[in-house]
Amino acid sequence: MIVTLTVNPSFDRTVELAAPLERGQVQRAVVTGQEPGGKGVNVSRALHAAGCDTLAILPGASTDPLVVALEVSGIPTAAVAIDSPIRSNITLAEPDGTTTKLNDPGVRLSEAVIAELIDVVVTQSASASWLVLAGSVPPGVADTFYAALVRAVRLSPTAPRIAVDSSGAPLAALVASGERVDLIKPNAEELLQLAESQGLDTGSATHEQLEADPELAVSLAQSLLSPSLGAVLVTLGSHGAVLVNAEGAWRAPAPRIVARSTVGAGDCSLAGYVLADQRGDSPAGRLAQAVAHGAAAASLPGTTVPTLEQTHPGDIVVTTIPRIAAGQI
């Protein structure tokens, strides 16, 4: 069982355009669709599509359209009741795969709801193999939320492995806290921001440079490893991904695809990684499944998640990257 928490879920509406977006003009949509969203929700959706047992934890009324949609899809859900409707996000998808997202800040959560969410996560994850904490935090939730939650989960003698896919202040506070996390999954821009927040020397590196130079991304990710941070999976968009842990470093270029929407591709990459880990794959195998899952998701419309049969990890070429001395950025 893999448990996910999405503290700031969304009901994602995707609008596919027939031509590039033109600001200030009227354009007709080719296809529109709406799917349950938020990073952790997407991870659970991808795991469910792959036939893996999962539980999605989130704040939301039992009658909220997002919660109902998850239940109709057959995805087990533990929803902590709130009075307000879950936010809606809008994604504009252009023919070349370019996506533009308009994200609502989310529902303000009370202290009581936050406390109940923590209790539910601690209880439900006690028998899980992985706990995935993913996404932004909404208004009313402190930047230290993930650090406090990890601390509470670790009190259990049967605590699962923990993966975190967040960004900005909440991720920085978690890493700085020293609470033990098995994996973080930033993209290139989030990796750069995290490194800067931890006082690491990033030189004049940009996230575009990190995406195009996997060895540069590996060097920066290695600088973040510590006794409290076991591994870093960095997604590099169309350049694939790299994985760094105490054993070594690996890179995997992305396969050639026709991109339809990149929304949720990183979430599917994380789902692929934990799925492969649960079946006992090596680090290289986990990275291959992560890249295969992300590429398959990007080739599908909107926030559609791939089935396991739509991913092709055997086609992904994983190579080992020698350890890079600190200070080479």
| pTM of the shown model | 0.92
Positions in the chain whose pLDDT score sits under 70: 323-329
Instruction: Collect all residues with Cβ–Cβ distance below 8 Å to 30 and sequence separation of at least 6.
Output: 16, 17, 18
pLDDT at 301: 83
CATH superfamily of 2-20+28-320: Ribokinase (3.40.1190.20)
Can you tell me the distance from the alpha carbon of 55 to that of 4, in angstroms, rounded to the nearest whole number?
6
Nearest to residue 316, comparing CAs of 239, 262, 233?
239
pLDDT at 327: 47
Can you tell me the distance from the alpha carbon of 140 to that of 43, in angstroms, rounded to the nearest whole number?
24
pLDDT at 303: 82
pLDDT at 227: 96
Nearest to residue 121, comparing CAs of 170, 154, 87, 73?
154
Residues 132/165, Cβ–Cβ less than 8 Å? yes
Dump pLDDT digits (tens) for 239-256. Answer: 999 999 999 999 999 999
Query: How many Å is the Cα radius of gyration of the chain?
Result: 19
Quick one: 309 exposed, middle or buried, by C-beta within 10 A (0-12, 13-18, 19+)? exposed
pLDDT at 323: 67
How far from 178 is each of 13, 122, 171, 172, 326, CA to CA, in Å?
37, 19, 12, 11, 21
Can you tell me the distance from the alpha carbon of 254 to that of 324, in angstroms, rounded to the nearest whole number?
22
pLDDT at 159: 95
Quick one: 80 exposed, middle or buried, by C-beta within 10 A (0-12, 13-18, 19+)? buried
What is the residue-wise DSSP string for 92-103? EE-TTS-EEEE-
Can you tell me the distance from the alpha carbon of 308 to that of 322, in angstroms, rounded to the nearest whole number?
31
